[in-house]
Amino acid sequence: MKLAIYGYGNLGRGVECAVLQNPDAELVGIFTRRDPNTVRSLTGVPVYSADRVMDFQDEIDVLILCGGSATDLPHMSPELAKGFNVLDSFDTHANIPEHFKAVDAAAKGSGHIALISCGWDPGLFSLNRLYASAVLPDGKDYTFWGRGVSQGHSDAIRRIPGVLDARQYTVPVREALEAVREGKMPELTARQKHLRECYVVAAPDADLAAIEQAIVTMPNYFSDYDTTVTFVSSEELKRNHAELPHGGFVIRAGKTGLHGEHSHTIEYSLHLDSNPEFTACVLVAYARALTRMKSRGDSGCKTVFDVAPGDLSSLSPDELRKRML
Amino acid sequence: MKLAIYGYGNLGRGVECAVLQNPDAELVGIFTRRDPNTVRSLTGVPVYSADRVMDFQDEIDVLILCGGSATDLPHMSPELAKGFNVLDSFDTHANIPEHFKAVDAAAKGSGHIALISCGWDPGLFSLNRLYASAVLPDGKDYTFWGRGVSQGHSDAIRRIPGVLDARQYTVPVREALEAVREGKMPELTARQKHLRECYVVAAPDADLAAIEQAIVTMPNYFSDYDTTVTFVSSEELKRNHAELPHGGFVIRAGKTGLHGEHSHTIEYSLHLDSNPEFTACVLVAYARALTRMKSRGDSGCKTVFDVAPGDLSSLSPDELRKRML
C-alpha cells in the first residue's frame, strides 16, 4: 500500500516511523503547510508543499491526515476525501456524528473511502467499549486515562499570564480503579476517577500563588478535579517531562446467570511511552484495512466499528486462523 | 433473531440465560440427544429431541451448537451447516484449519453462514492477539490462562485408578506476568508461565502417594509444570470447588520509534465467575452478527476475525458512533 502523510508534527513523524515496521507499506511523501524547504523528514522521504497534494492523486492509496481536531480536521478531512482515501484521528468525541456526516458525504460523492477517529481513544478503547458491552449487556463500563500527558490541559495552563511552559499529567485514582476491577460497579464523579498533576515554569517575576489559583479553579479543565501544581525550572521540565507517555484502562463489569449470580470483568489497558507514535501505529494498520475494503468496492466514511479485524493484519486469513485463533 | 440451542450441558444452559439479557433474541427451542422428557429447561423453553431439528429449519435464524470439541463438533458442525446457520465454540486450536474447511464446504454448499471457534479463547483472546500484533508489528505476545478450572486436566486426573473426583486449576505465575507487563519480553517455558493446582477426592483404600506420583508425572498434562496435589473430601470438593471460574491475560509488548526507543504494552484480561456463562454471552453476540451478515447475502464459514465489531451490538451504527466511539 502506498501511503502519504498530510501534516508533519508529532503524529506525522510517528506515522513515518510506523511505516518502516510494515514491509507492505511504502511512504510516497510528506505534505506540509510550511515551506517544504524548511522541513526535513526523519527517513529521507520527500517533503512537498500541501498545495501540491492533488498532483499525487494517482500515487497514493491512503492519505493519512495528521492535523489537529480543533481547527484542522473538521475542514481538512471532508475536503481531502474529495480526492483521496483518507484516514484521520479526529478526537473531539462530541462532534464525531457531525464530522462523520461531512466526511461521508464527501467520500461518497467522490467514490473514495475514509475512516475517521482512529487511534486509541477514540479507536482501540472504543472497540473495547463496544465488544465488552455487546458481550455483557447487563453491566457498566468505565474508561480511565493515564498516567499520561494531556496536551489540551497543558495548553490551557500555558495560556495563563506569567506561565512560560507547562506539562499536565492525567492520573487515574488507584482506589477507583480497584473498586471497578472488583466488580463493585461504583458511581464515580470526575474527581473520584482522575487526579491532575501540573508542572509549571513561571516567569521570574510571576505571582506563583495567583498562577496556582488560576489553574485549580479553571472551569472544565481543573475545577472538578483534585489538582496539584508544582513549579519547576525550564531545565527541569525539559529533563523530566519531555516525553509524551499516555495510556489508560477500559473496564466493564457485568453479571450473568438466571438471577445475575455470576460476575465478570473485562479489562483492556495500554501503557504507552509515546502517545503519538502508538497512535500512528494504529493509523497504519487501519490504512491497510482501508486499502483492502476499497479494493473490494467499498466507499464512504467508516469507523473502527466497521472494519473486520482480519483486514488489519498483513497475514492471510488462512495464516491468521492457524496462528492467532 | 430466533435462536436455538443444540446440546444442553453447562454451555447450553449459559446460552439460555444469555438470551434473557438480549431483548432482540428469542429462544425457539433446545435440542438434546437425551430423551427430551427427562430434560427440563431453566426458563420453560421447549426441549426437543435432536432427531427432530430439521423440522425447525424455517423457524431458526442461528443454531448454537453446544457440543464438545473432542468428539461432537468435528462432525456436528459440518452436518448441521447443511441445514442451518450455525455457531460453535470449537477450541482444539491445532485442528481449527481442518474444522474450518469442513464447515466452510458444508455452509457454502447449502448457502448458509457459519462461525466456528467462538468464545473467549479462541474468541476474544484471538481478537486481542490479532489487534495487538497488527498495531505493534515489532513486538511479542503472551497468553496466560487462569486462575481457572481446566475441564480437560480435571478429567485426566479422574481417569487415574483410585480417584473418585478432581478439580484442576490453572494459575498464571505472578513473576512471569509482571516481567511481561514491564515490557521485558522474556522467553518463558511452560513451567515458568503456569502452575497447576489439583484438588483430588481419593477412594477410601487408595494409595495417595501413587495417585500424586501419577498426576505430577503425567506427560503433556502435568509433567512440564510445577503441580501441587491436595487431597480433599468429597464434601469439601463440592463446597469449595463447585464453580467454574476462569479467565486470563493477553499481553503484547512492542517497540516504536526510529530506533525502537519507545516501549508499549497492550493488555487484555478477563476475570470470569462462570466460564460457560461468559462463553455463552460471546456466542449470543456473534449470533446477532451472523444474522446480519446472512441478511446482507454473506455465506460460508467465518471466524471472529471476519466480523466487523459493529455487527455485534444491538445499537445502530449512528448510536454506536455517538455513544461508544
DSSP secondary structure letters along A149-188 = E-HHHHHHHHTSTTEEEEEEEEEE-HHHHHHHHTT-----
CB < 8 Å from B in window 282-321 of A: 282, 285, 288, 303-310, 312-314, 317-318, 320-321
Tell me whether B44 touches chain A (CB under 8 Å). Answer: no
Flag if B21 and A256 touch (Cβ within 8 Å). yes
Query: Residue A181's closest chain B neighbor by CA?
Result: B271
- Residue B122 is nearest to which of A93, A135, A325, comparing CB atoms? A325
Quick one: B240 exposed, middle or buried, by C-beta within 10 A (0-12, 13-18, 19+)?
exposed
Flag if A273 and B263 touch (Cβ within 8 Å). yes
Per-residue pLDDT, averaged over B201-208, amounts to: 97
Tell me what pLDDT residue B73 has: 97
Tell me what pLDDT residue B166 has: 97
Helix (H, G, I), strand (E, B) or coil at B17: helix
Q: Å from B83 to nearest chain A CA?
A: 25
Closest residue by Cα to residue B64 from B222, B237, B268, B290: B290
Instruction: Say if residues A304 and A286 touch (Cβ distance below 8 Å).
Output: yes
How do residues B207-261 score in pLDDT, each as one tens digit?
Answer: 999 999 999 999 989 999 999 999 999 999 999 999 999 999 999 999 999 999 9
The set of cell numbers assigned to A70 is 480543533
Helix (H, G, I), strand (E, B) or coil at A201: strand
Instruction: Say if residues B15 and B89 touch (Cβ distance below 8 Å).
Output: no
Angle (CA) A44-A47-A49 rounded to 5° is 175
Tell me what pLDDT residue A161 has: 96
Per-residue pLDDT, averaged over B311-325, amounts to: 97
E strand or H helix at B264: strand B262-272
Flag if A303 and B321 touch (Cβ within 8 Å). yes
Tell me what pLDDT residue A269 has: 98
Per-residue pLDDT, averaged over B118-135, amounts to: 98
Name the pLDDT band for B309 (thresholds 50, 70, 90): very high
CB < 8 Å from B in window 75-134 of A: 93, 96-97, 100, 117, 122, 124, 126-131, 133-134
Q: How far apart are CA B122 and CA B212, in angstroms?
A: 31
Q: How far apart are CA A49 and CA A72, in angstroms?
A: 16
Name the pLDDT band for A113 (thresholds 50, 70, 90): very high
**Hunting for cell 458444508 — which residue is that?**
B106
Flag if A126 and B324 touch (Cβ within 8 Å). yes
Tell me whether B196 touches chain A (CB under 8 Å). Answer: no
Per-residue pLDDT, averaged over A129-152, amounts to: 96
Q: Which residues of A touch B298 (CB under 8 A)?
A: none
Which residues fall within 8 angstroms of residue A36, CB to CB, at 6 or more apart?
A: A47, A48, A49
Flag if A266 and B264 touch (Cβ within 8 Å). no
Name the pLDDT band for B276 (thresholds 50, 70, 90): very high
Angle (CA) A306-A310-A314 rounded to 5° is 125
Residue A271, CA distances (Å) to A120, A319, B122, B142, B269 in order: 11, 28, 25, 16, 14
Tell me what pLDDT residue B99 has: 98
Q: Helices H, strands E: what count in chain B?
A: 11, 14
Peptide bond into B122 cis (omega under 30): yes
Per-residue pLDDT, averaged over A134-148, amounts to: 97
How do residues B72-91 score in pLDDT, each as one tens digit?
Answer: 999 999 999 999 999 999 99
Per-residue pLDDT, averaged over B183-207, amounts to: 96
Q: Which residues of A touch B303 (CB under 8 A)?
A: 310, 321, 325
Instruction: Say if residues A145 and A168 touch (Cβ distance below 8 Å).
Output: no
How do residues A8-18 score in pLDDT, each as one tens digit?
Answer: 999 999 999 99
Flag if A256 and B270 touch (Cβ within 8 Å). no
Q: Å from A8 to nearest chain B CA?
A: 15
Closest residue by Cα to residue A211 from A144, A148, A262, A164: A164
Tell me what pLDDT residue A169 has: 98
Tell me what pLDDT residue B230 has: 98
How do residues A183-219 score in pLDDT, each as one tens digit?
Answer: 889 999 999 999 999 999 999 999 999 999 999 999 9
Query: Mean pLDDT for chain A?
Result: 97
Flag if A14 and B280 touch (Cβ within 8 Å). no
Tell me what pLDDT residue A237 has: 97
Tell me whether B182 touches chain A (CB under 8 Å). Answer: no
Q: Which residues of A touch B271 (CB under 8 A)?
A: 181, 183, 264-265, 267
Flag if B137 and A314 touch (Cβ within 8 Å). yes
Tell me what pLDDT residue B243 has: 96
Residue A322, CA distances (Å) to A96, B95, B103 in order: 37, 9, 16
CB < 8 Å from A in window 136-155 of B: 136-138
Flag if B137 and A282 touch (Cβ within 8 Å). no
Flag if B96 and A322 touch (Cβ within 8 Å). yes
Q: Å from B81 to nearest chain A CA?
A: 19
How do residues A50-73 score in pLDDT, each as one tens digit?
Answer: 999 999 999 999 999 999 998 999
